[in-house]
Amino acid sequence: MRLGIRVRPGASRESVGGAYGEDAIVVRVNARAVDGRATEAALRAVAEAFGVRRADVRLVTGATSRDKVVEITGNEQELTERAAALRMA
């Protein structure tokens, strides 16, 4: 499944949850937006939040943007349900 995320680097604590706009989920990470550190931290956080391996989360677009699209490999129905729950958090 493809999922839009909004990365908030430099957060005091890491978390995944909340809605940004129509479809994106907010991902807060401690890492700063330097040398791709925030992007990598966001991909790890998304993998953990969805209960998949980091290798199952791939960046599709937005390498240097706060708005990114990621692709998550796994059971489509479970991923969709988890995404809906995270948007409401």
Cα distances (angstroms) measured from residue 53 to each of 2, 22, 45, 57? 16, 26, 10, 7
Domain map of the chain by residue range? Answer: 2-88
Per-residue pLDDT band for 89 (boundaries 50, 70, 90) equals confident
Q: What is the chain's percent helix, strand, coil content, to nearest 5? A: 35, 35, 35
Contacts for 78 with CB less than 8 Å, ≥ 6 apart: none
pTM of structure: 0.94
Top CATH class of 2-88 equals alpha beta
- pLDDT range class, residue 22, cuts 50, 70, 90: confident
The secondary structure of residue 21, as a DSSP letter, is T
pLDDT in tens, 50-71: 999 999 999 999 999 999 999 9
pLDDT average, residue stretch 29-41: 95
